[in-house]
Chains A and B, each alone.
Chain A
Amino acid sequence: QQQVKQSPQSLIVQKGGISIINCAYENTAFDYFPWYQQFPGKGPALLIAIRPDVSEKKEGRFTISFNKSAKQFSLHIMDSQPGDSATYFCAANYGGATNKLIFGTGTLLAVQP
């Protein structure tokens, strides 16, 4: 199944709170899972990524949690800031070395001051 299901569609978080976005997949051949951040009028920017042999990866305030058995992965944004307000996309690589990505449908995050 070449599909990645992302939830929620939108999210409102208070400044300083934790934002959590979830993605689920079916294809166990996926071998790379990136998260992208996109501001209006801009291209998606790579935020953080993980391989399935790792259960967690942290970069600053951003953490990916990966549950291989459940075929789920999530993005956690700690101490959320108004500047984090953007659309976030999860993705998965289904093309092996050709690196073809399948994307989730996006989550619009609004961090209220």
Chain B
Amino acid sequence: DAGITQSPRHKVTETGTPVTLRCHQTENHRYMYWYRQDPGHGLRLIHYSYGVKDTDKGEVSDGYSVSRSKTEDFLLTLESATSSQTSVYFCAIRGLGNSYEQYFGPGTRLTVT
């Protein structure tokens, strides 16, 4: 998993509660990404970061916010979780230098009841 850890690995939460997922990397990668995976949709980009405090939206960013206060951690927050946000969330990092290769973490399975 390219030195990427995600926490928690599983979470069940109730509608309306805030949830924060953490992605941690140990190799000083500049670019980090959050995706969600749903049946029939493949993976879809939520937000990404290109450096500390530098973030931008992906294709499905509504209802999500992110923060990156240090290089190794990229946090994804659901301010008020909804059932439509039940999904598997993957963090990815981009390879060093000019590489376009992305490497994914093990994922977090989130269930919103």
Interface residues of A, CB < 8 Å — how many? 23
A31 to chain B, nearest CB (A): 8
Closest 4 CB pairs of A and B: A43-B104, A103-B42, A103-B43, A32-B100
B1 at the A interface (CB under 8 A): yes
Residue contact B103 to A46, C-beta cutoff 8 Å: yes
Residue contact B104 to A45, C-beta cutoff 8 Å: yes
A71 at the B interface (CB under 8 A): no
Residue contact A98 to B43, C-beta cutoff 8 Å: no
Report B-chain residues with C-beta under 8 Å of the C-beta of A68: none
In the docked arrangement, what's the CA distance between A18 and B90, Å? Answer: 30
Contacts A43-B90, A99-B31, A103-B43 given; indicate if A2 touches B59 (C-beta within 8 A): yes
B35 to chain A, nearest CB (A): 8
